[in-house]
């Protein structure tokens, strides 16, 4: 079982460039999430998709867009990268967003550096 797969694993961008982070899960989960992890700050939710066809902002959505392409795939786009977006990005999925009994399953992360 692959679980949650993220691509790429590493990326370096120049300020102003755009890119899309890809995420796919094979667990038939309904909900998917994008987090960023910065030193000393834990994880912060960027966007999530409670179910196919819906997306909602999290704690830090500015500068990002998302697309829930289908039930399996949830992409994160940076339209004009800024150095403040240098971070490690994690995709996660869960069976249901509105449930205490659906722990998150995470991908391996994408380490993004914006120069």
Instruction: Provide the binding-site residues for other proteins, judged by CB under 8 A.
Output: 4, 40-45, 88, 90, 92, 97-101, 103-109
Minimal distance in Å, beta carbon 31 to other proteins?
Answer: 10
Q: Taking the complex as a whole, how short is the minimal distance between the CB of residue 66 and other proteins, in angstroms?
A: 17
- Compute the least distance from the CB of residue 45 to other proteins, in Å: 7
Nearest distance, CB of residue 75 and other proteins, angstroms = 19
Is the Cβ of residue 107 or residue 114 nearer to other proteins in the bound state? 107
Comparing CA positions, the residue from 20, 115, 23 lying closest to residue 71 is 23
Decide: 72 and 24 in contact? Cβ < 8 Å.
yes
Nearer to other proteins, 59 or 79 (CB): 59
DSSP 20-72: EEEEEE-S--SEEEEEEE-TTS-EEEEEEESSTT--EE-S--TTEEEEE-SSS
Edge-to-edge strands, sheet with 4-7? 4-7, 19-25, 74-78, 64-68
- The residue (of 3 and 17) whose beta carbon lies closer to other proteins is 3
Residue nearer to other proteins on the CB measure, 17 or 37: 37
34 DSSP β-pair partners: 47, 91
């Amino acid at each position: 079982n692959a679980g949650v797969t993220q691509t790429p694993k590493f990326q370096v961008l120049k300020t102003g460039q755009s890119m899309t982070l890809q995420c796919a899960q094979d667990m038939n989960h309904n909900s998917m999430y994008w987090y960023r992890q910065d030193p000393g700050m834990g994880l912060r939710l960027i966007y999530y998709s409670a179910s196919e066809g819906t997306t909602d902002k999290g704690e830090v959505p500015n500068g990002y867009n998302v697309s829930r392409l289908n039930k399996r795939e949830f992409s994160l786009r940076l339209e004009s990268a800024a150095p403040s977006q240098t971070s490690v990005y994690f995709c996660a999925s869960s069976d249901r967003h509105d449930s205490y009994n659906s722990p998150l399953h995470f991908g391996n992360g994408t380490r993004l550096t914006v120069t």
